[in-house]
Structure 1
Amino acid sequence: MGTPDQAPEWRLSEEELTAGLLAAERQLCRAYAWMLSMVGEIDQRGVAVGKGFRSTQVMLVRSLRISQKEANARVAQATAVLPVMRNALAAGDINREHAHEIAQVLTHAPDSVTPEELAANETTLVELAHEAPPATLRKVGQRIQAYWDFDGVDPDKREQDLARPLREFRYTRTRDGRMKYTGEFDPDTATLAEQLFTVLAKPDPADSFGNPDPRTRSQRQGDAIAAVLDLAARAPDLPVKAGERAVATITVSLDDLQRRAGTVMLDGHDPMTVSQLRRLCCDAKVLPAVLGGSGEVLDLGRAVRTATPAQRRALAVRDKGCTAPWCTRGAKWTTPHHIEYWTNPHGGPGGPTDIGNMALMCDRDHLLAHHGGWDIRLRNGVVEWIPPAWLDPQRRPRRNTAHDPPGVRAA
């Protein structure tokens, strides 16, 4: 309901409703400016202590029933010397969120910032607040703070920091083989990481049933890191150790490998399942050491087991990227996967390492192909994914059309 001299909202035209909305917002902004004036005067006079409160913030929490965070913000805005911001708020030209972002920046300025610079930045932020939402103001404020941090550092120390940037990575391994890590990056590396997350950690499109990507943001970013590490491990100029690139050796018995069951050992320490081995062996980072019944080494990797550079280029032309129906990852983020595994589970030779028996897959969808119940086949030069029966009882083949050129309709 409106005030007594106003018509009920349901009787107003659209123009009157929008005009009323804007007018109400200006009134809220002016009321908030008046609130800050009261808070500033209460703090200056020490009213809170006189009434038995420890501080003005505590008085606001108790008397106004607001949170400690809100009380801190109001006192900070009320006591800061920000005349341009206060005048704009009192005029109803900016709102309380704008005031909060401006105070957050200017009240944390380092001592090296002169009063003239503070005044100039206050004017800049208030002018921006006339046109932009608080989120934009926050980003500009962060740039101002970054400039202050950069400009306030001794030039010699800055060059030393650039020569030896702070990059730390700490990790521990859990009993089940997982890795937990913490650390920090220098600004340049942090920016690069964010740019990679923007591309690699974005949610997948909804599936054919309309279900959104079920992964949380942290899970998507974890998958992005895994993709970056996988790409780096396949780089041709990766540093070598003991004359070869980073290679893990996995020991497995021939019987277990053929039965697709049992346990294998990674470098003699960490256990894994045969299904994991089958997935890892699609790439050159793993050499399987296949043992016979008496422990003799029957096979220590095979050069023909992994795709050659020429085959990888041909697969990139044919598949254009990951072949999973929902994936948009390009070819450089993929690994060639054997459609018919390179070891026959019934004994004898397995699937050949040739173009007709391989398909490109990114790291995450490679996991799904090996452990998610999907079957893969090549039909008329196109890789098709056949879903498990629980997902599609008819198991209708699906293909990736995300890599098709614009204007080209999938067959």
Structure 2
Amino acid sequence: MSETFLPELPQELWRAGKLELAHGVQQFLQVMRVASAGLGRYLAEIESRGVKDLFGYGSTITWFAGVAGLSRGEARPVVNQAIALNPTRALDGSAVPAVAPTTGAVAAEGLVGAERVQQVLEILARIPADASVGDRESAEKILGNLAREAGPRQLAEAEANLLAWLDPDGNEPKDPEPKEPRREVTLERRRDGFWKLTGLLDDELGARTAAALEAYAKPRPVDEFGQADLRMKCERQGDAWAELLDLAIACPDQPGTSGYRTLVHVTIGLDELKTGIGKACLDFVGSMTAREARMAACDCLMLPVVMNAAGEPLDVGRLRRFVTPGQRRALNIRDQGCAFPGCHRRPKNCHAHHIHHWADGGLTDLRNLVLLCGFHHRLIHHGDWQAHMAADGLPEFIPPQYLDPLQRTRRNTLHRA
């Protein structure tokens, strides 16, 4: 077995240029892939000799899981891939050729990773059973060589072409009666106040859901202060789910809401609502901070029930606090999206924020309203940014001193040519 040397790390990596960084990543990636291929050859040899005779284990997967500190589920694809890429021997000593020898050779050069190898093996498994040995070998050679440069989409396109060539008539027609789609969603409230959402979606609905989440879960671009979106993918998808719910609730045909953004009742004391300090009762079963209730009340995502010190209801969300459809259209035309500097979100993804909060006497009119996306709405309520209306009737924002010592006013110029 030829020796593989690890690339040398610069002593001060932070001094490395972009080309040196890219070259280092490529070198280490190739070393990892070559090492993975070498490990596969060892595992295939152990499988050929018989792991029970060598080490007393019932299977190579079980033995490798113990050696590598993996679960059987983690070890299984590694061992199965090793056996598929390398020739082995049967119990009688006869040679068993590799399922994908060309792909194995490409993997040994460090030119393809485990993900593309697995995709090639899955494509080969879908080749019709009545295909000839020669056709299978030709298909594997094409896929293995293509994997050197191709990504998952190109391999998927090659699969479609190969299957059309090997099986031009396609599968025999099945029962035309479509099955009822299997869709399950469960929502339960945990003891810590969070809600656990689980579900099982059929392929079609799952693809639609994934596409919708992906469209709204893209990372926010780096803003003018150089701050990047540090949310994990699961967090971005959670925020995307909230935006999709907002869009559905705001639909005029939505049953029970008629296009208003009222969802649930929030019971809160008047002092807590004005100061933003304290707790509020959410639909009589949960709780939220007074600050969150104050923010939600801006666009009437929730119907506030304000109580006095004696526990008597002072107000139950008067309709005049709602942003009317006409006001919303005017806001959309004026702000053309989130008005926060540098934000690209469109009007449909925004809330109507009261600059001077209505709990403090602010009015629900255009001079006191501004469109903000969910992220920047929270930032205005919970951070040190300030919003105000300029003399020309357009919203402006004042950053905190730690971002701009001069606290110069800023506007969003992305929505306007």
Question: Under a length normalisation based on structure 2, what TM-score does the superposition of the two structures give?
Answer: 0.70
* Local SS of the residue matching 1:159: coil
Determine which of 221, 232, 257 is the counterpart of 1:205: 221
- Label 1:250 to 1:95 Cα distance change in 2 as closer, same or farther (>3 A): closer
Percent identical pairs in the alignment equals: 32
> How do residues 8-407 of structure 1 correspond to structure 2 at under 5 angstroms?
46=49, 48-52=51-55, 54=57, 57=60, 68=75, 70-78=78-86, 85-86=100-101, 97=113, 100-101=117-118, 104-106=121-123, 108-109=125-126, 113-116=128-131, 123-124=138-139, 126-133=141-148, 136-137=151-152, 140-141=155-156, 155-156=174-175, 159-160=178-179, 164-240=180-256, 247-292=263-308, 294-344=310-360, 350-379=361-390, 380-405=392-417
- Label 1:320 to 1:138 Cα distance change in 2 as closer, same or farther (>3 A): closer
Measure the CA separation in 1 of the matches of 2:380 and 2:173. Answer: 54
How many Å apart are 1:182 and its aligned residue?
2.2
How many Å apart are 1:353 and its aligned residue?
1.3
Opposite residue 131 of structure 2, the aligned amino acid is E
Opposite residue 357 of structure 1, the aligned amino acid is N
Measure the CA separation in 2 of the matches of 1:295 and 1:87. Answer: 77
Measure the CA separation in 1 of the matches of 2:172 and 2:354. Answer: 55
Q: Which runs of 5+ in 1 are unaligned?
A: 4-20, 345-349, 406-411
How many Å apart are 1:249 and its aligned residue?
1.9
1:249-287, Cα deviation, whole Å (9 max, x unpaired):
222333443444443322333233332222111223322
State which drifts further: 183-192 or 133-142: 133-142
How many Å apart are 1:329 and its aligned residue?
1.3
Measure the CA separation in 2 of the matches of 1:376 and 1:184. Answer: 43
State which drifts further: 87-96 or 231-240: 87-96
Opposite residue 142 of structure 2, the aligned amino acid is E
Whether contact under 8 Å (1:49, 1:56) holds in the other structure is: yes
How many Å apart are 1:41 and its aligned residue?
8.0
- Label 1:339 to 1:104 Cα distance change in 2 as closer, same or farther (>3 A): same
Aligned CA RMSD, in angstroms, stands at 4.6
Opposite residue 268 of structure 2, the aligned amino acid is V
* Local SS of the residue matching 1:155: coil
Opposite residue 237 of structure 1, the aligned amino acid is D
How many Å apart are 1:105 and its aligned residue?
0.8
Q: Which runs of 5+ in 2 are unaligned?
A: 4-25, 89-95, 165-169
* Local SS of the residue matching 1:238: coil
- Label 1:308 to 1:70 Cα distance change in 2 as closer, same or farther (>3 A): same
Measure the CA separation in 2 of the matches of 1:101 and 1:362. Answer: 41
Whether contact under 8 Å (1:88, 1:126) holds in the other structure is: yes
Whether contact under 8 Å (1:60, 1:71) holds in the other structure is: no
- Label 1:273 to 1:184 Cα distance change in 2 as closer, same or farther (>3 A): same
State which drifts further: 49-58 or 383-392: 49-58
Whether contact under 8 Å (1:57, 1:75) holds in the other structure is: no
* Local SS of the residue matching 2:214: helix
Measure the CA separation in 2 of the matches of 1:212 and 1:261. Answer: 30
- Label 1:133 to 1:183 Cα distance change in 2 as closer, same or farther (>3 A): farther
Opposite residue 316 of structure 2, the aligned amino acid is L
* Local SS of the residue matching 2:288: strand
Opposite residue 101 of structure 2, the aligned amino acid is R
State which drifts further: 73-82 or 193-202: 73-82
Whether contact under 8 Å (1:376, 1:384) holds in the other structure is: yes
Measure the CA separation in 1 of the matches of 2:255 and 2:132. Answer: 49
Whether contact under 8 Å (1:284, 1:306) holds in the other structure is: yes
* Local SS of the residue matching 1:376: strand
Residue matched to 1:6: none
State which drifts further: 225-234 or 129-138: 129-138
* Local SS of the residue matching 2:151: helix
Opposite residue 324 of structure 1, the aligned amino acid is F
Measure the CA separation in 1 of the matches of 2:324 and 2:134. Answer: 63
Opposite residue 75 of structure 1, the aligned amino acid is I
* Local SS of the residue matching 1:189: helix
Question: Under a length normalisation based on structure 1, what TM-score does the superposition of the two structures give?
Answer: 0.71
Q: Which has the higher contact order (CA 8 A, sep 6+)?
A: 1
1:15-42, Cα deviation, whole Å (9 max, x unpaired):
xxxxxx9xxx9xx99xx79x86x98787
